[in-house]
Amino acid sequence: EIVAQLSANQEVEILGTSADGEWYQICCPPGIYTNEAWVSANLMRMVVAPTATTLVVQSVMANQHANTLSARRARTQPQQAGQQLGIVSAAVVNIRTGPGTNYPVIGQVTDRMKVTVVGRSEQSNWLHLCCLDTSIDEGWISAEFVELTSNNDAINRDMLLAALAVPPTPIPPTPMPHTPAERSATALATNGSDGSTNRGAGLPGQGNFGGVAAQNPLTGLPLATGRAAQRPMIICINNDPAARPQLGLSQADLIYEYLMEGYGITRFSAIFYGNDVAAIGPVRSARLINYYMGALYDAGLVCSGASDQVRYALKHEAPFPYLDIDLDDPSNSRYSVSIGSDYRTRLRTSTSGARQWLADWGVEKSPNLRGFTFGERRDGNPATQITIPYPQGTGSAVSYRYDNSMGQYLRWLGGNAHTDGNNGTQIALDNVIVQYVTHEATNIVEDSLGSTSIRLNLFGSGRAIVFRNGVALNGSWRSESRGDTPRFYTDDGQEIALKTGRSWISIVPESYTISYQ
């Protein structure tokens, strides 16, 4: 039903939009119509101010008079004024009771899910959502993971945010001590008929690769005398902004980077084998990925604590040794040192401290490890600049630039040159590898706010991109048994050889798009 007509460039007040965004609900254009009505969004230009939203007629329909458009009633539920439509832009994102990670998790949303945004925090870094499902009436999400949508390309994100209300901030809860879970819930393993624990539950069998020879299986470089009789060491390193610059990363043979619970920040696991390093850290707690990583590299694992279930798995089920500094060196006097009181930065270890632990426990040995394949480069797409879209809000976004004179990729973290606190040099890599791995939700609680661990199984296969010598090689990765370090293949099945030297592997969810040029 046509109820009135508007002139070009006439201003009207918007009350809401239809669910599909195709129609705007307006009110009371002076001298034209005294009630609410609907107009086509395609013919309007929105002007946004912090306290109101106004529509301006920008064009007319071809089959109407040259200076008018039709206002029609719509049979659809309007989106209320002060609301915006949004689309989730990450694999899995937590919904919390308030605008911050210190609020409990009450649910999750997944990639490309549509959400209704009804408010924002004062700094616009958190968005208030409503009507998620029957069990969650409202909640808060990090603004970084929501794309606000509009039918008008001239309206940018800042304008859309400005139109949202800023509700009172909920009072943050007082964290409660985490109660240890029952043994039956924590185990990854099953018990044998004699009650013994099955080591390596959920892992493939050990491959028969033999011991290490004169070449470093992780870098392709020569090994020092006696090193072949020792195993690699994996050390968990914090990537909180307070922990930067970390110590020892430029001296590691191989580094893994992966998302933490909540998908808001990353953590590192650095693998040391070829070099002796006097200071490594800050050391932080283990995650479920380390259960798979330790088995993959037949390594010793050094971290500082873990959730109850992950700690149990690492101590009682993993087929490799685990040094939990909190339990095994609480005085920080034999295998580690403590400097200051900030839990994010205080703990450090060294290769000598870690090897002392392996010797004390009688678990030092030559690893049963296949090692990476090294060789000449293949032709690929130019890739002198790389961007990996880890979360920007915690400064975790990563980029690389290829230095042709060095023949290496220089690393940036959170927009800044990523340096090593031991020597002040920017981290340089011979190989940058992006490995797509399924991010599986678990019921393993990682903190007092209820955030749950992500299972990142490093065995199996998936997509991969290998960057070396300034080119990108798209293909896949494969690891079939314990000790079977990842192998990389082009889409036509040819193995991709790595460049001799240090490598960095970024574990990412399938939803991530890696840009390079």
The residue from 79, 106, 128 where one domain ends is 79
The residue from 162, 183, 215 where one domain ends is 162
Mean pLDDT of 106-116: 81
pLDDT at 479: 97
Residue 112 shares a structural domain with residue 65: no
Mean pLDDT of 255-275: 96
pLDDT at 61: 34
Residue 17 shares a structural domain with residue 137: no
Q: Lowest mean pLDDT of 39-53, 54-68, 300-314, 411-425, name the range.
A: 54-68
Mean pLDDT of 131-150: 78
Q: Which residue has the tokens 């903190």?
A: 447
Residue 209 shares a structural domain with residue 344: yes
φ, ψ (nearest 5 deg) of residue 484: -90, 80
Burial class (CB in 10 A: 0-12, 13-18, 19+), 470: middle
pLDDT at 273: 98
- Annotate 321-344 with b (16+ C-beta within 10 A) or e (fewer): bbbbbeebbeebeebbbbeeeebe
Residue 216 covered by a domain:
yes
Rounded distance, CA 489 to CA 477, Å? 6
pLDDT at 449: 72
Residue 351 shares a structural domain with residue 441: yes
Q: What is the mean pLDDT of the chain?
A: 84
Work out the pLDDT band at 309, boundaries 50, 70, 90: very high
Residue 21 shares a structural domain with residue 136: no
Q: Say if residue 286's pLDDT is above 90.
A: yes
pLDDT at 189: 44
Residue 17 shares a structural domain with residue 104: no
Q: What CATH number has the domain bearing residue 100? A: 2.30.30.40
Q: Say if residue 109's pLDDT is above 90.
A: no
Number of domains in the chain: 3
Residue 404 shares a structural domain with residue 310: yes
Q: Over the stretch 356-406, which tens digit does the pLDDT of each residue have? A: 999 999 999 999 999 999 999 889 999 999 999 999 989 999 999 999 999
Q: Name the β-bridge partners of 495.
A: 489
The residue from 51, 79, 107 where one domain ends is 79
Q: What CATH number has the domain bearing residue 402? A: 3.50.90.10
Enclosing domain of residue 446: 203-517
pLDDT at 60: 35
Rounded distance, CA 294 to CA 421, Å? 26
Residue 68 shares a structural domain with residue 101: no
Residue 208 shares a structural domain with residue 135: no
Please enumerate, as own/partner, the contacts of 42-47 that have beta carbons within 8 Å and a separation of 24 or more: 42/151, 43/69, 44/152, 45/152, 45/154, 46/14, 46/150, 46/152, 46/154, 46/155, 47/11
Residue 20 covered by a domain:
yes
Q: Which of 218, 238, 158 minimizes the C-alpha distance to 413?
A: 238
Provide, rounded to the nearest whole percent, the portion of the chain with pLDDT above 90.
Answer: 57
Residue 242 shares a structural domain with residue 141: no
Q: Lowest mean pLDDT of 88-92, 200-204, 243-247, 279-283, name the range.
A: 88-92
Residue 495 shares a structural domain with residue 372: yes
Q: Which of 230, 276, 227 minimizes the C-alpha distance to 251?
A: 276
Q: Which residue has the tokens 């749950």?
A: 452
pLDDT at 451: 85
Q: Say if residue 475's pLDDT is above 50.
A: yes
Q: Over the stretch 23-72, which tens digit does the pLDDT of each residue have? A: 777 766 666 665 667 777 767 765 543 333 444 444 433 333 323 333 33
Residue 93 shares a structural domain with residue 52: no
Provide, rounded to the nearest whole percent, the portion of the chain with pLDDT above 70.
Answer: 79
Residue 285 covered by a domain:
yes
Q: What is the pTM of this model?
A: 0.68
Q: Over the stretch 165-181, which tens digit does the pLDDT of each residue have? A: 888 887 765 544 333 33
- Name residues whose C-beta falls within 8 Å of residue 179's C-beta, 6 or more positions apart in sequence: none
Six-digit token string for 419 = 């340096």
pLDDT at 1: 66
Q: Say if residue 491's pLDDT is above 50.
A: yes
